[in-house]
A and B are shown apart, each in its own frame.
Chain A
């Protein structure tokens, strides 16, 4: 027992010292530091090289570097016990800066036109003002995509995350047809990026031709206590990520009690009447920080025409 405590405390102090692989933000309150508690302690003497926050390369025991514990395929499918990951998106803060999109593309080596995160210009009715709505995968608790997958390549983990195993996917695209939120994209051709990494469903890298991809909440990051890239990349702190069981969400700068935040700000889940029980909550676009027009500034020309395609038929028939 004392030995275990000692190990844990050494991990904590290690984290406190500020070592981590990427120079990302440590999740508020270190809520995820305990994620790897259940993992087997590696044999002592096994050293790995890590990059410190100030850019120095140093060698530490493998057991100290949480990020290097590659989860087994069983763990990948089970997820982190006792966790329930959620995301809260504050629509009042979004101005379509598209930093989340480019950070996600960069992190997952996505082809242009192949974004996992999409930003929509929404207008609830003719009398209301439009607003920008970023949309990752909703990681539903009753996911239509997982139900229809014929080979179990899409799976729901105990910690709430829905992942795709691109080494099992047969490319039937049924999940794409079934997902009502169009969260999934397909690798129509071989990726042009050369990535020197072994594929894992938790990293989603490299992309595999002929298979389906989607936002995965960056499990490889959060297992080491690092926030997903879209959260840290957002200049306006739109995204909050956290654990529903621990009742904390953070955007890296501010942290909130999840239950209080969703209650006070009257959060909603997009079209949850479809019975999907999403794990992404939206805070309504109240007291907006930016005018909606600013969103068009950062938009690539190639996608601009798509925003002019309104729901033409509904207008024409006055519905």
Chain B
């Protein structure tokens, strides 16, 4: 069977499997939609009453909105780094999972910045950034970096989709609504598998993956610099940018594993997303966990040993069990060791444990971002005096939690909507002959 026929066959099989009516999916969709709508309600409450409804006050000026922002931008590394690097290295087994990775990237880069908008006191003046923008401010670097990153990720995702859209366009078996066919025809952009077209597309994808990797590094570095450029303890650190980048790839990889597990399970894609994928990506996760642990150790050891009093105040808030101790040890040890052990020890290593390890990693990375932002803001240089007691400690309110839940729900909603328009497995790609003959033995 030659590859276009095989591709069409697989297309019909996968699409019909994914579009099979399912009660669970409908229930989940409505649930996510409800959470999303409730978040909209919370946001309107905040708009009407002002940010007094949040837990943020004069000292802790950034709350979990910022945590979510860093978290989502971190997740976006799945597509950028994993898919980009594997593409450049021509790793053959990457093919079935790159679509999921790139979808994670685009969706999270759309959701992340929304939290920054929500956190702004005057959303109505957002355009001042363009009319009065000052390039000295790291916030402007962030705006430039994230908009570039988002457009490049969308382009990267789209370029990889062209072949699949051509498949849809040429398909006669599937029942596709007229408007959707029109959409596929337009977006397939006259691709018909000619050798020149293939070569051009391949080159474009290589260029995009070469662009998107440094771009992703830059985005998270700029994000780290928003904190690093201030002279606050716990933030003003030279390793903050690489630390953030490593943390981001770590959480991105973990989310990719979770997504792979879910899609494999619910759409029965065992044939395409195999145990080997989990083991390979799991190994990457293990290396990243080790790197992340190393950065954490290095960061806190130097600060603690140096013992400047302002720095120590934050450090002891993190180390002390009566304060943030439990959370800190959870994020710094459990969040690193559990994924490492689950992937590293052969008798523990299987698809489910790797997935559990990833969940632990993702949760701990969210906590870690919380621990970066809040304890530092709760520790000003001058003592916390002459303030109302409610200003001293931060605790997020229902508005903030609803918006956080709304962000997560929107992430899932976007996935469900995106799936309607793009196959979750790059069908055209996996049906092609391997790029590199050496990898044929892997049978992917």
Contact = CB atoms under 8 A, between A and B. Distances in A.
Contact of A314 (B59, B121, B125, B309): B309
A271 B58 CA distance: 21
B312 A152 contact: no
> A170, A184, A311: which has the most chain B beta carbons within 10 Å?
A170
The secondary-structure label for the interface of chain B is loop
Given A170-B120, A181-B382, A144 B230 contact: yes
A244 to B, nearest CB: 24
B153 to A, nearest CB: 23
B58 A186 contact: yes
B50 interface: yes
B175 interface: no
Interface in B288-317: 307, 309, 312-313, 316-317
A176 to B, nearest CB: 5
B122 interface: yes
Given A135-B382, A313-B320, A319-B307, A148 B230 contact: yes
A309 B122 contact: no
A144 B232 CA distance: 11
B214 interface: no
A34 B58 CA distance: 38
A168 B389 contact: no
Contacts of B139: 148, 150, 172, 174
Interface string A106-137: 00000001110011111000000000000100
Contacts of A174: 137-139, 226
B328 to A, nearest CB: 14
A171 B121 contact: yes
Contacts of B313: 311, 313-314
A53 B14 CA distance: 88
Interface in B23-69: 49-52, 56-59, 61-62
A67 to B, nearest CB: 30
Interface in B115-153: 116, 119-122, 125-126, 128-129, 132-134, 136-140, 143
Given A181-B381, A182-B58, A168 B128 contact: yes
Nearest to B389: A305
B19 interface: no
Contact of A176 (B61, B120, B312, B387): B61
B52 A188 contact: yes
Contacts of B128: 151, 153, 168, 170
B122 A211 contact: yes
A92 B126 CA distance: 46
B385 A319 contact: no
Given A171-B120, A171-B121, A173-B121, A121 B137 contact: no
A5 interface: no
A182 B381 contact: yes
A122 B132 CA distance: 40
A311 B233 CA distance: 15
B175 to A, nearest CB: 49
Contacts of A114: 58
Interface string B381-420: 1111111110110000000000000000000000000000
A52 interface: no
B379 to A, nearest CB: 9
Interface in A36-52: none
Contacts of A314: 309, 312-313, 316
A188 to B, nearest CB: 4
Contacts of B125: 151, 168-171
Given A170-B125, A210-B122, A118 B51 contact: no
A316 B320 CA distance: 11
A310 interface: yes
Given A148-B137, A170-B128, A189 B49 contact: yes
Contacts of B136: 147-148
B61 A173 contact: yes
Contacts of B89: none
Contacts of A177: 61-62, 230, 232, 377
B122 A121 contact: no
Contacts of A170: 120-122, 125-126, 128-129
Interface string A137-165: 00000001001111111000000000000
Contacts of A211: 121-122
A133 B309 CA distance: 20
Contact of A309 (B52, B57, B132, B392): B392
B229 interface: yes
B231 interface: yes
12 contacts: A118-B382, A120-B382, A147-B136, A149-B137, A170-B120, A177-B377, A181-B382, A182-B58, A190-B50, A210-B122, A211-B121, A212-B121
Given A113-B391, A309-B392, A311-B313, 20 more contacts: A113-B387, A120-B385, A144-B231, A147-B136, A148-B229, A150-B129, A151-B132, A151-B133, A151-B134, A153-B128, A172-B116, A172-B139, A174-B226, A177-B230, A181-B382, A186-B58, A209-B121, A210-B122, A211-B121, A319-B312
In the A-B complex, the 6 residue pairs with the smallest Cβ-Cβ separation, listed nearest first, are: A171-B121, A210-B121, A189-B50, A150-B139, A189-B52, A313-B316
